[in-house]
Amino acid sequence: MRTELSFASLSTIETELLTVLAADTQTAKGADVKAAPVLLTADAAVTAAAAGVLGSGEFKAGANETVLIHAPAGLKAKRLLVVGLGKTAKVTAHGVRTAAGTAVRYTKPRGIRELAFALPELNAVGLDALARVTAEGAIVGDFDSDTYRSERKDVSVASFVAVGPATFSGSPDEHAVQAAFAEGVIVGESQNFARALVNEPGNVLTPTEFGKRAAVMAESVGLGWDVSSTEKMRQLKMGAFLSVAQGSEEPPALIVLKYEPEGVNDGPVIGLVGKGITFDTGGISIKPADNMEKMKYDMAGGAAMLGAMRAIALLKPKVRVLCVVCASENMPDGKAQKPGDVQTAMSGKTIEIINTDAEGRLVLADGLAYAKQLGATHLIDAATLTGAVGVALGKVNAGAFSNDDETYTKFEAGLAASGEKFWRLPLGDEYADLIKSDIADIKNTGGRYGGAITAAEFLKVFAEDTPWIHLDIAGLAWNDEGGPHVAKGPSGVAVRSVVEWVRKYSL
């Protein structure tokens, strides 16, 4: 999709579809109270063109609600689409992000291939922030997961033009708004890069192929990279990672990317670690057949970290960043590890295997240790780690854990910009006691209760004293149902939040 930011009078724009946003200004409550939608633009011609619809009562400006006006009077646009943001008091930058996605997804099945999108006039949100989230939302909205359908037709939007107030043209602030829009394009495309990886079937995206695609991406954006396999992992004594891979005919891949900005030789080194299980049968503790086909998504944490690295390379923050993705299949072969086995991780810790389907924490254990060995001073990992996090938080929030309040505060501070929802869950000695083993240092599951927490406690053992955040994205990595602003399928969750967190450390 071609993207552009323009500053022009909305009434003069020639386009197949012009989108403007509206909010409900009604503050009273009650069954008989009617919505009072108002366009978030000062353009008199657009306001006049939409006056009839807004006054009819059929459009209430609910979040992502749409109404289309054909041949709007006084405008050069062929169609005028109004998208709602909800109540005025609750309008956020993220609401604008989803509205941009809604506009794009509205056009796709209707054969409309170009649209202009008017940035709303919001006193509470700067125009630069609006430009960025608009680009992100539009690009994310354009993604579909039907890559392998033989009758698939290219229904991508060819041209998306965000339109800011004409008064900004040539002003001192124009450059900042243009730069923010360009950042949004980078982040949106990086999120879609991660989504495209997650969407690939397991017979295509093997661990080896995962490594190849990471290398191609790294080369394209100027990242340092190294992809190795079993021999290197044996040299590093990655017994936990290797124990997961030993049941598969497909060799594992240890993927390392490095971003080293010019002139930055000290300060923190941020380590991103991703779970990259390209297909998860559960191993000997095999999963039920129902929905097992979705287990191709078990590398979504690794994909998110690669997407974040792509964005970081292009945004160029002044902080060193490295990324470790541990890619493997988890299969029930005759050579596969068994419940009751004891494995020795890279750190020297011994692990009793209680359930072979708790494999993600095993590969991350060695990934965290290796990131520290490579020099990471701060760690963040992302993984589709537990079904328990979805039971706890539903499909609304992903889980977050940390061993350091200051580090987590930086992460939390970026969520308003990323628009993603994470809820911090507790850690503590009472939970850590649940993963103590009778015959080894720890065991890889802690029982039925608090499963997301005991999994995090397991990872905390390998983070040790390094400031660390764990993101359990299992509940949000796959959209079971599409929405007005996003397609069904992989979500790319965590890319935006990880990027925002890393930028907090930029010198």
Map out the domains of the chain as residue ranges: 2-187, 216-503
Query: What distance in Å separates the CA atoms of residue 281 and residue 355, rounded to the nearest whole number?
Result: 12
Cα dihedral 190→156→295→451 (10° resolution): 60
Q: Are 43 and 10 in contact (CB under 8 A)?
A: yes
The predicted model gives 137-163 an average pLDDT of 90
Catalytic residue among 213, 361, 443, 496: 361
How much is the pLDDT for 124?
85
The residue from 87, 232, 287, 424 that is catalytic is 287
At 151, the pLDDT band (50, 70, 90 cuts) reads confident
Query: Beta strand pairing status for 2-7 and 159-164?
Result: parallel
What's the mean pLDDT when you consider all of the chain? 96
Query: What count of residues does the chain have?
Result: 507
Q: How many helices (H) and strands (E) does the chain have?
A: 15, 20
| Alpha-helix runs per DSSP H in 374-448 | 388-393, 405-413, 415-418, 429-432
Structural class in CATH, domain 2-187: alpha beta
Identify which of 247, 256, 249, 292 has the alpha carbon closest to the alpha carbon of residue 276.
Answer: 256
Mean pLDDT of the 205-222 span: 98
Answer for the pair 346, 362: CB distance below 8 angstroms, yes or no: no
Nearest residue to 23 (alpha-carbon basis) of 37, 35, 33: 37
Please give the pLDDT value at position 1.
93
Residue 94 φ/ψ, nearest 5 degrees? -65, -35
Model pLDDT for residues 74-88, shown as the tens digit of each residue: 999 999 999 999 999
Catalytic-residue membership of 443: no
Whole-angstrom distance, CA of residue 297 vs CA of residue 477 = 8
Give the dihedral sign, CA 70/71/72/76.
Answer: positive
Helix, strand, coil % in the chain, rounded to nearest 5: 40, 20, 40
Which residue is listed with tokens 């494995």? 343
- In the DSSP assignment, the letter for residue 252 is P
Residue 498 reports pLDDT greater than 80: yes
Q: Dump pLDDT digits (tens) for 421-464.
A: 999 999 999 999 999 999 999 999 999 999 999 999 999 999 99
Structure confidence at residue 169 (pLDDT): 75
Predicted model pTM:
0.97
Q: Does residue 361 have an active-site annotation?
A: yes
Over the stretch 255-283, which tens digit does the pLDDT of each residue have? 999 999 999 999 999 999 999 999 999 99
* Res 167: pLDDT: 77
d(CA 80, CA 49) in angstroms, rounded, equals 8
Task: Indicate whether 30 pLDDT > 80.
Answer: no
When pLDDT is cut at 50, 70 and 90, the band that residue 154 belongs to is low
**Hunting for tokens 């009751």 — which residue is that?**
340
pLDDT tens, 352-410?
999 999 999 999 999 999 999 999 999 999 999 999 999 999 999 999 999 999 999 99
Q: What is the pLDDT of residue 29?
A: 81
Q: Does 61 have pLDDT greater than 70? A: yes
Residue 428 CA to residue 441 CA, distance in Å, equals 17
At a CB cut-off of 8 Å and minimum separation 6, what does 240 contact?
Answer: 343, 344, 345, 346, 351, 362, 363, 365, 366
CATH number of the 216-503 domain: 3.40.630.10
Mind listing the pLDDT tens digit for each residue in 88-126? 999 999 999 999 999 999 999 999 999 999 999 998 899
DSSP annotation string for 478-491: EESS--SSS-SEE-
- Of 484 and 34, more confident: 484
Q: Where are the alpha helices (DSSP H) in 236-322?
A: 239-245, 300-315
Please name every residue paired with 7 in a beta bridge, in sequence order, or none if there are none: 164
Confidence of residue 28 (pLDDT cuts 50, 70, 90): confident
pLDDT surpasses 80 at 32: no
Average pLDDT estimate for 194-204? 98
Q: Indicate if the pLDDT at residue 153 is higher than 70.
A: no
